[in-house]
Structure 1
Amino acid sequence: MASLSTEVPGDERATLLAFVESQRAGLRETLEGLTEEQAASRPTVSELSLSGLVKHAAETEYAWLRMAQQRPNDRLRSAEDYRNGFRLVEEETIPEVLAFWDQVTAELTAFIEGVPSLDESFPLPEAPWFPKDTKVSMRWLLLHLVEEFARHAGHADILRETVDGTKAMG
């Protein structure tokens, strides 16, 4: 499982980015050594698969980045297409999903490093689960990504152990 480096960042921005990366890496590492078929398997009663979780995490990070940048999301899914965000479809492969996530990661890091302050904010979209007319800060965004990736890394740990007995820790 990913761990923080022995050099601890001294500032808030670098620390938050390091925690995002640690959780991101923990999720990605659950794919190591698996075939496409193993990664796409659904070994529990849920419909979650390892490759689907990684795709979802990459697309979720991209969506939050586009919201923070206040730019359109060209990967926005319709309600009918929502389930395809949790599985590889058509010709998608794990290397392609990971390469996309690498691009998103680099763009998010550059964006966060470039904002004048983590107090900078952006509006949340209209949705039943968000309070109306709410803005959140870049700090909130990074903490939300830690929460999102940690939740799914936990799911992925269970799936990986069910697929082949590999444990994330120990």
Structure 2
Amino acid sequence: MAHPTQEIAGDERGTLLLFVEDQREALRRAATGLTAEQAASRPTASELSLAGLVKHAAEVELNWLRMAQQKPNEHRRAPEDWHEGFRLAEGETLESALAFWDTVKEETTGFIESVPSLDDDFPLPPAPWFPQDATVSMRWMLLHLVREFARHAGHADIIRETLDGTKAMG
């Protein structure tokens, strides 16, 4: 994989996918090498765990992908169960969450590579946090994923440093 500081000449699609992947990888790196107990632990004042962040990021990516594809999301949660996306359920592991995310990543990449234009758009669902009848482009979705993953990669860095002193940047 190219490093995000490398220009991908004339290829906005490739550059955006690269930045999405870079932030995915930052989250994954924070969870690498931990025991199941460490990955599920919540060592900070927040309720977040590294395993929960990985699960959440995978589910968020799938949700945006399904909206862009204009297909139903087979993993959609009821609004009152949103918090369950931040913790492992019975039988789930960090490894299963990472494997699920791998399948979502491959599907997202394939879909984005297949759309005719990053200007293609899709409707946002009715929700209090979206403007009525709003649409967003594929480009916007990719930038939103970068923002989402970067925010949670920062959370993951803090959790990991709290757990064992490992620092993302040195």
TM-score range, shorter chain: over 0.9
Change (3 A) 1:127 1:87: same
Letter of the 1:162 counterpart? T
**What is the TM-score normalised by the length of structure 1?**
0.96
Aligned mates of 2:101, 2:138 — CA distance in 1: 19
1:136 paired residue number: 136
* Equivalent position of 1:150 in the other structure: 150
Equivalent residue number for residue 28 of structure 2: 28
The CA distance in 2 between the partners of 1:64 and 1:83, in whole Å, is 18
Please state how far the C-alpha of 1:95 moved relative to its aligned partner.
1.2
Gaps of 5+ in 2: none
Normalised by the size of structure 2, how large is the TM-score? 0.96
Give the 3-state SS of the residue equivalent to 1:81 in structure 2: helix
In structure 1, the residue matched to 2:71 is 71
Cα distance, 1:80 vs structure 2: 2.9
Asked whether the 8 Å contact 1:3–1:22 carries over to 2, the reply is no
SS in 2 for 1:119: coil
SS of the residue corresponding to residue 136 of structure 1 reads strand
Cα RMSD after superposing both structures: 1.4
Deviations 1:135-159 (A, max 9, x none): 0000000000000000000000000
Asked whether the equivalents of residues 13 and 113 of structure 1 are also in contact (C-alpha less than 8 Å), the reply is yes
Shift of residue 110, structure 1, vs aligned partner: 0.4
Q: Does 1:8 align with 2:3?
A: no
Alignment size in residue pairs = 169
Counterpart residue type for residue 34 of structure 1: L
Q: What residue is the counterpart of 1:19 in the other structure?
A: 19
Quote the Cα distance in structure 2 between the aligned partners of 1:98 and 1:108: 15
Aligned pairs for 1:114-125 within 5 A? 114-125=114-125
Secondary structure in 2 aligned to 1:122?
Answer: strand
- Identity across aligned pairs (percent)? 68
Uncovered stretches (5+) of structure 1, i.e. residues with no partner: none
Structure 2 match to 1:37: 37
| Runs of 4+ off more than 2 Å | 5-8
CA distance in 1, matches of 2:158, 2:124: 32
Residue 5 of structure 1: CA displacement? Answer: 6.1
User: Any conservation in 1 of the 2:119–2:138 contact (CA below 8 Å)?
Assistant: yes
